[in-house]
Amino acid sequence: MDIAIYALSEYAVTMEFSVVIDGSVADLISRFNAHLLQHPFPGLQTLVPAYGSLTIVFDPLVVVQATILPGSDCLEKVSTFLKVSFNQFDQETVRKSAAVIKNIPVCYGGGYGPDLDYLASILALTTNEVVQLHSSAIYRVFMIGFVPGFAYLGGLDHRLEIARKGTPRNSVPAGSVGIAGKQTGIYSLETPGGWQIIGRTPLRMFDANRKEPVLLKAGDRVSFTTITEKEFNQYKEARCE
Amino acid sequence: MRIKFVKPGLLTTIQDQGRWNYLALGVPVSGAMDALAANMASIVLGNEKGSAVLEFTYAGACFETETAILMAYAGGGAVMRINDRDLPILRPVYVPAGALVTLIKSPEGCRTYMAVAGGWNIPVVLGSRSTYLPARFGGYQGRAIQAGDVIGAVRNFSDSTRQILKSLQGNLLKFTSWSMAAQQFLPANRFQIRVVPGREFTWFEGGSLVSFLTKPYTLDLRSDRMGYQLNGTQMLRSVKKELLSTATLPGTIQVTGDGRLVILMVDGQTTGGYPRIAHVAMVDLPLCGQLKPGDQIQFSEISAVEAEILWLDRSYQLQKLEIALTNKLNNRDNLWR
């Protein structure tokens, strides 16, 4: 596998595995991410997986003084370590833990999914068909980005692909489930946004004060279940809101 | 040690060295925009580097000392004043209880950092005390400081801090005879920003790249802790490939669809899909933290290796300052005057 490694900053390098979206590459990145966390180099700070890349953030002061890392500068030291580590890391026999599918309840349409009718008419489907297609697929979390906890999901049925809104909304409520191109995703916080909104989950996707701040992480599998507005409110009440 | 805000100023938040371990969850680094000034304010007091400081934006804020405090400030956003007396920067200052401290306009920069002995007592959220306003967490109740807010210091002083406090405390406004020699950190031209070519540098036309490295760029009004939009010569693409979203960091310089340059700052999003023409050398990111809309900057190119050497050198200099403070307090003078 041809992996490019480049400096993103004085304190970060990026490993570029693929320049196109590919599920098997995403799985490989997730596994290597886990491998690096178990077998870190001195000075490793944190890892940031994305669609086709893994970014490694480190403390240059520690790296440059780490004599066990061969090389003269941080880029050389870290890249050498990463290449060796990737070669040693067994891509095939890594135990493939049966991926747990996380379920997200969604109330589709109405006030929670203001673009559902529009989307159905443009795609020449009924709203029921849109909901059916969206809630019957199993998605993969490719990346968390944009804002804390915003999960980019791949695996959308091609019949649901639709362009972003011409003019983004100034405010999209937290929990909104949207579609943009080949992706679907959940707005974790109230932010401006241009995705076509088809529903909303009552779950809080991001909470800084929770032990586990996010519900979804890169590499997770996700499915959606249809709930009624009444059930949506029950979820909210159960959270004491 | 405790202060109460009378006027909050334009934007006053608690910041520290940033929140580094949650980038994979989409949580930005945050922290002080001018991390160098923030660090210097802490170091001069004998606080740990990266302890919580107040970040003031421009002048206008005003606070009252509810108890006596030992403080220090740095950064060019404002001058602190009590009555008609300007407080010296980069120097431990002992302010008695009941004093009214006002931030007065300074032509220099944008942000001022205030450290208090022990560091501000603020709960840690996701490994940091930094305020991240877009998601309303961290810092003082996840928000900017408002009038009436009271914040206090951690009652856990280093030996150096205790020594400084002992030498200054009483009923009067007092400061040390010495200050931090910070000239070594200040470049001749603080609008000259050194950059390292980015991954997609070669995706732009030669003429655009020449403009990027020679022409001035002006900060647009749409510039904040998340990032700076720049006005100036448009960047034209020679390679029109799509980029898959990948990690971005403070200092990453992106080019948006309309050919405009954007510098991501500390609250910037953790991933992005715009081509990265360059990144600001870490050593110059604090300079960017002092920029304000309308400021004109010019980029100059350095190599990645050069940028790393400069950054390591800066880190060693800061370590030396910390050691030098201990020496100074024990009459072994060198870096302090």
Percent share of chain B, pLDDT over 90: 85
- The reply to whether residue A217 touches residue B25, judged by beta carbons under 8 angstroms, is yes
- Beta-carbon pairs below 8 A across chains A and B: 138
- On whether the CB atoms of residues B116 and B67 are closer than 8 A, the answer is no
The whole-number pLDDT of residue A97 equals 58
pLDDT tier for residue A226 given thresholds of 50, 70 and 90: very high
With a cut of 90, say whether residue B1 has pLDDT above it.
yes
Q: Which residue of B has its CA nearest to A14?
A: B247
Does residue A141 fall inside a structural domain? yes
Q: Which of B108 and A187 is assigned the larger pLDDT?
A: A187
pLDDT attached to residue A168 = 85
**Is residue A13 a part of any domain in this protein?**
yes
Q: Do A208 and B138 touch (CB under 8 A)?
A: yes
Residue in chain A nearest B307 by alpha carbon: A10
Q: Do B23 and A46 touch (CB under 8 A)?
A: yes
Residue A22 sits at the chain B interface (C-beta within 8 Å): no
* CA triple A175-A180-A184, angle to 5 deg: 50
CA angle B30, B36, B38 (to 5 degrees): 65
Closest-approach residue (CA) in chain B for A60: B312
Percentage, residues of chain A above pLDDT 90:
83
Residues of B in contact with A19 (CB under 8 A): 241, 244
**pLDDT score, position B243:** 87
Are A217 and B312 inside 8 Å of each other by CB?
Answer: no
Q: Does A62 touch chain B (CB under 8 A)?
A: no
Q: Are β-strands B62-65 and B53-57 bridged in parallel, bridged antiparallel, or unpaired?
A: unpaired
Rounded mean pLDDT of A30-37? 94
Residues B37, B51: Cα–Cα separation, whole Å: 12
What is the number of structural domains in chain A? Answer: 2
Please name the member of B241, B279, B312 whose beta carbon is closest to the beta carbon of A9. Answer: B279
> Do the Cβ atoms of B312 and A191 come within 8 Å?
no
Top-confidence residue, A22 or B181 = A22
Task: Name the residue among A16, A52, A144 with its Cβ closest to that of B25.
Answer: A144
Q: What is the pLDDT of residues B23-80, one digit of tens each?
A: 999 999 999 999 999 999 999 999 988 899 999 999 999 999 999 999 999 998 999 9
Shared-domain flag, residues A9 and A106: no
The verdict on A145 touching B (C-beta cutoff 8 Å) is yes
- pLDDT (mean) for A101-110: 96
CATH of the domain at A57: 3.30.1360.40
Q: State residue A95's pLDDT score.
A: 55
Question: A63: which residues sit within 8 A by CB, 6+ positions away?
Answer: A41, A42, A43, A69, A74, A77, A78
The rounded distance, in Å, linking the Cα atoms of B214 and B200 is 19
Touching check for B188 and chain A: CB below 8 Å? Answer: no
pLDDT for residue A233: 94
Identity (one letter) of the amino acid at B322? E
Q: What is the CATH number of the domain that holds A180?
A: 2.40.100.10
Same domain, A57 and A82: yes
Same domain, A111 and A220: yes
Q: In what helix (H) or strand (E) does residue B207 lie, and over which residues does it extend? A: helix B206-214
Shortest CA distance to B176 belongs to which of B161, B186, B188?
A: B161
Specify the pLDDT at position A176. 97
Rounded Cα gap, residues B33 and B112, in angstroms: 10
Q: Same domain, yes or no, for A120 and A82? A: no
**Residues contacting residue A213 through CB under 8 Å, at least 6 positions apart:** A148, A149, A206, A207, B22, B25, B27, B126
- Say which DSSP state B276 is in: E
Interface membership of B137 toward A (CB under 8 Å): yes
From-to residues of CATH 2.40.100.10 in chain B: 192-302
Q: In degrees, to the nearest 5, what angle opens at C-alpha B190 toward C-alphas B186 and B195?
A: 105
Q: Which residue(s) pair with B277 in the sheet?
A: none
Give residue B336's pLDDT band: very low, low, confident or very high (50, 70, 90): low
Asked whether residue A93 carries a pLDDT value surpassing 60, the answer given is: no
Q: Is residue A192 part of a domain?
A: yes
Q: Are A167 and B45 in contact (CB under 8 A)?
A: no
A150 touches chain B (CB under 8 A): yes
The residue among A88, A122, A149 that closes a domain is A88
Residue A54 lies in a domain: yes
Instruction: Tell me whether residue A39 is in a domain.
Output: yes
Res A2: pLDDT: 84
pLDDT reading at B334 higher than 60: no
Asked whether this complex has an ipTM greater than 0.90, the answer is yes
Q: Clarify whether residues A112 and A75 are in a common domain.
A: no
To the nearest whole number, what is the mean pLDDT of chain B?
94
User: Do B125 and A147 lie within an 8 Å CB cutoff?
Assistant: no
Q: Note the residue count of chain A.
A: 241
Inform me whether the pLDDT recorded for A178 exceeds 90.
yes
Residues A49 and A146 in one domain: no
In chain B, what residues touch A10 (CB-CB under 8 Å)? 281-282, 304, 307-308, 311
Within-domain flag for A74: yes
The residues in B 77-96 lying below 8 A from A, measured between CB atoms, are none
Token pair of B151, please?
A: 């914040």
Residues A72 and A133 grouped into a single domain: no
Domain boundary residue among A66, A88, A110?
A88
Taking only the tens place, the pLDDT of each residue in B171-219 is 999 999 988 877 778 888 999 999 999 999 999 999 999 999 999 999 9
**Is there a single domain that holds both residue A82 and residue A124?**
no
Q: Which of A61, A88, A115 is the last residue of a domain?
A: A88
A94 belongs to a structural domain:
no
AA identity, residue A183: Q
Q: Are residues A82 and A106 in the same domain?
A: no
Whether A61 and B270 lie within 8 Å, measured CB to CB: no
Q: Which domain holds residue A107?
A: 101-238
The domain covering B192-302 belongs, at the CATH homologous superfamily level, to: Cyclophilin-like (2.40.100.10)
- Give yes or no: residues A229 and A120 share one domain: yes
> Quick one: pLDDT at residue B333?
55
Picking from B42, B107, B99, the residue whose alpha carbon sits closest to that of residue B71 is B42
Q: Which chain B residues contact residue A8 at CB under 8 A?
A: 199, 247-249, 252, 276, 279
A232 and A138 part of one domain: yes
What gap in Å lies between CA B259 and CA A103, rounded to an integer?
41
Q: Does A193 touch chain B (CB under 8 A)?
A: no
Mean pLDDT rounded to a whole number for chain A? 92
Least confident segment among A76-85, B143-152, B165-174, B323-332: B323-332
Asked if the structure places residue A96 within a domain, the reply is no
pLDDT digits (tens, 9 = 90+) for B299-322: 999 999 999 999 999 999 999 888
